[in-house]
Structure 1
């Protein structure tokens, strides 16, 4: 009887160990899968179209938030503009946003914040302005808060503030006067741009 109990307990311990090993290896394998295909629905423009008040060139990739399980990967027509989370221009293509050539616009991840981040390609900058110089000094994207989230164009009437410039300058850090002053200057210069 004693041997039987030992075998049962040993079997249970072995099953638990196998289960833990399986879970560990599965989690480890998932962390290595860096190049998983992006399942978010997207549409690539086949001609110029206006989206979010921006004239998008042919070949622009519009990425939408995942709403339905059957809407994955490339779509054959544009989806609801309210679901757009990113607009990326074809490699080598930029559009002018505030006098600065940009490669993409990405809606803020935090849905409570009304705005987007704009990514520039300063190597293609034709005309230097104080606004462009300040933005370039951040070495990263520019976070913009807006009144109307359906307008991602350079519409100064819609732009409420510069929320961030890269990771070094953010409105979140209200007590840091240097950061706030820099962002205030950037916003002031943005408002002087005539596009």
Structure 2
């Protein structure tokens, strides 16, 4: 009888030590992180050939990032469900044409109540013959452009799908609807966007 009690106590001590060990290691992994937590290792896939995602043809080497997934993290061996896509990042030095402007990254809005994404330009690759009023306005705010869309499965420059310009960096945002200057700039910007062919 005594032997069973000692074995049970021994097993309980091992379980408690294992749990404590896990907690200590887990907390040590958070050291140095200002938020106190560890950032999720979002699943991503690097394309090994030209691929179409969100109706955009992206080159080989493009990083496709997806929503946090319980069973998948880090680099994946195959492309995941496009519905879960949160970002497209082209290989360094590569761009795609988005309304006549070279862009290297498109990131879905974090807020699920907002249907849209941010487009990140590379104005160093903008050719003079491609410049227009739309690209000039974008270059003036010199930041990523937030657009609201109707169809979340289309991230192309599709005027019929783009509902509005939500923001251009932090200086121009629809959120500040009482700021007349910001709203006028965004209205003008959207008007010029609709003229792009």
TM-score normalised per structure 1: 0.81
**1:113 corresponding residue in structure 2:** 114
1:144 corresponds to 2:155: no
Aligned equivalent of 1:30, options 8, 29, 32: 32
2:189 paired with 1:190? no
- Judged with a 3 Å threshold, the aligned counterparts in structure 2 of structure 1 residues 28 and 75 are, in CA distance, closer, same or farther, namely closer
| 1:49 maps onto 2:41 in alignment | no
Please name the residue that 2:124 is paired with.
123
Once the two structures are superposed, residues 142-170 of structure 1 have per-residue CA deviations (whole angstroms, 9 ceiling, x without a partner) of 00000011110001110000000110000
Provide the residue aligned with 1:90 in structure 2: 91
CA RMSD of aligned residues (A): 2.2
Distance 2:57 2:34 in 1: 39
TM-superposed deviation, 1:141: 0.4
Equivalent in the alignment of 1:76: 77
Matched, 1:160 2:163: yes
Separation in structure 1 between the aligned mates of residue 134 and residue 181 of structure 2, nearest angstrom? 17
Look up the SS of the partner of 1:189 in the other structure.
Answer: helix
| Structure 1 outlier segments of 4+, above 4 Å | 25-28
Quote how far apart the aligned CAs of 1:106 are.
0.2
Partner residue, 2:179: 176
Q: Distance in 1 between matches of 2:30 and 2:52?
A: 44
Which secondary structure state, in structure 1, belongs to the residue aligned with residue 137 of structure 2? Answer: helix
Distance, in Å, in 1 between the alignment partners of 2:99 and 2:131 is 11
Q: How many residues align structurally?
A: 169
1:38 & 1:101 partners in 2: Cα distance? 30
The structural deviation recorded for 1:31 is 2.6
* 1:29 aligned counterpart, secondary structure: coil
Structure 2 runs not aligned, ≥5 long = 1-23
